[in-house]
Structure 1
Amino acid sequence: MIRVVVVDDHPVVRDGLRGMLGTQDDFEVVGEAASGTEALTVIAAVRPDVAVTDLRLPAPSGAELVRLIRSRAPSTRVLVLTTHDTDADVLSTIEAGATGYLLKDAPREELFRAVRAAARDETVLSPSVAARLVQRVRTPVSAAPLSNREREVLTLVAQGKTNREVGAVLHISEATVKTHLQHVYAKLEVPDRASAVSAAHQRGLL
């Protein structure tokens, strides 16, 4: 029997996952949590074989949560089930110790296979995530492609918007905009906004 804890901040999603997993004779959902803090408490108490968790949760979340689960409950494997598949999300969570990474639009049979694989400590990735990892391995760091969010930020910068205005449009903080721009500068090997916009146009990124 594979003992599973479901972690998601949406009750409907947790109910849906519990219902789906409950259709399989070899799964037992032994707990659920709506936040990172609650997840750590539940996992420490029931010691499941697999934690199926979203990335975006009340803190701790994402790679930090994966790292904490792996350090505090080494026998529990972490299967990420999320709608987010950016390079940063994928790489950081796998580096933190996630055993698998699936998107929420995956067919239920794929989810079942992933939970079983995770319980065996076998890595399982959705096709799009696997493709991203292969591309990242094959691409030199200096030529790493821009993420969707970095592209959005740079597009707005190219329109002449300030960091504050970009943040307002994308509903992110000004500090986050600056961080995205720093990543853009590093990837395009340029020193500033104007150079980034110019380089992006030359490379057909905008």
Structure 2
Amino acid sequence: MNELVKVVVIDGHTLVRYGLIGLVGTEPDLEVIGDSGRRAEVFGMVLSERPNVVVLDVSPPDLAGLRVARDLRHQYAELGIVLLAPEGQDDLLFSALESGVSAFVAKSAPTDEILAAIRHAAVAPTSFTATGLGPAMSRRDHSTTQTLLSPREAQVLDLLGQGLSVRDIAVALSVSISTAKTYVARLYEKLEVSNRAQAIMTALQRGLLAPKV
């Protein structure tokens, strides 16, 4: 018979904490061995109870839970750490990824996702999982690309999307053909493409150009 996964629950919201305890307690392979509403108590509990997984809440603007998670990871390399946070917190998700926790789950997630995160943390504590990680990364890449494009480069992209040649772009912007070529080359470099077709396709995929209707 496999050993039970020992879980400690830390959440400052009493109802949420008791709900998690009740949820975990119904699972035959999981066992809550400690809980607290104070994050500072988690270190003593980990030291004395030796849990496999700690479930820890973190809520903006107070990111104490994230700092506690980082300290736990630094001290206990094989400890499973699950962060519970409000939904739609992309920045917090990426901070959790960088901190080395095992899983990041929205408090509004279905119960099976929360339980899956705990089980993942128990067997792969150093491997990160998070529902919605893919879409979050796409949003970050999109935002980064938009930030990288200067207003002039965004204008050049729009003109390329309209089908203008480099010569026509030079006329539209009242610059020399050489300068227009430089703008286009810089745009290609930032989009990591080598021609107009690739630039337009990439821009459409990243939402930098509106599709023609």
AA aligned to 1:71 is: H
- Call closer, same or farther: CA 1:141–1:40 in 2, change over 3 Å: farther
Q: Is the 8 A contact 1:43 1:73 kept in 2?
A: no
**% same residue:** 27
SS of 1:31's equivalent in the other structure is strand
Equivalent position of 2:102 in the other structure:
99
Equivalent position of 2:131 in the other structure:
126
- Residue 138 of structure 1 and its aligned partner are, at CA, apart by 6.0
* Residue 72 in structure 1 maps to residue 53 in structure 2: no
1:7-156, aligned counterparts within 5 Å? Answer: 7-56=10-59, 61-121=64-124, 122-127=127-132, 129-137=133-141, 140=144, 143=147
- Residue 137 of structure 1 and its aligned partner are, at CA, apart by 4.7
- Residue 142 of structure 1 and its aligned partner are, at CA, apart by 7.0
SS of 1:51's equivalent in the other structure is strand
- Call closer, same or farther: CA 1:60–1:137 in 2, change over 3 Å: closer
- Residue 35 of structure 1 and its aligned partner are, at CA, apart by 2.1
Segments of structure 2 that go 5 or more residues without pairing to the other structure are 149-207, 209-213
The alignment covers a number of residue pairs equal to: 143
- Call closer, same or farther: CA 1:125–1:60 in 2, change over 3 Å: closer
Q: Is the 8 A contact 2:103 2:121 kept in 1?
A: yes
Q: TM-score, normalised by structure 1?
A: 0.62
1:167-186, aligned counterparts within 5 Å? Answer: none
How far apart, CA to CA, are the structure 1 residues paired with 2:108 and 2:97? Answer: 20
Q: Is the 8 A contact 1:70 1:76 kept in 2?
A: yes
How far apart, CA to CA, are the structure 1 residues paired with 2:63 and 2:128? Answer: 23
- Call closer, same or farther: CA 1:72–1:15 in 2, change over 3 Å: same
How far apart, CA to CA, are the structure 1 residues paired with 2:63 and 2:94? Answer: 17
Q: Is the 8 A contact 1:101 1:126 kept in 2?
A: yes
SS of 1:140's equivalent in the other structure is helix
Q: TM-score, normalised by structure 2?
A: 0.60
Segments of structure 1 that go 5 or more residues without pairing to the other structure are 145-202
- Residue 91 of structure 1 and its aligned partner are, at CA, apart by 1.4
SS of 1:79's equivalent in the other structure is strand
Q: Is the 8 A contact 1:50 1:119 kept in 2?
A: yes
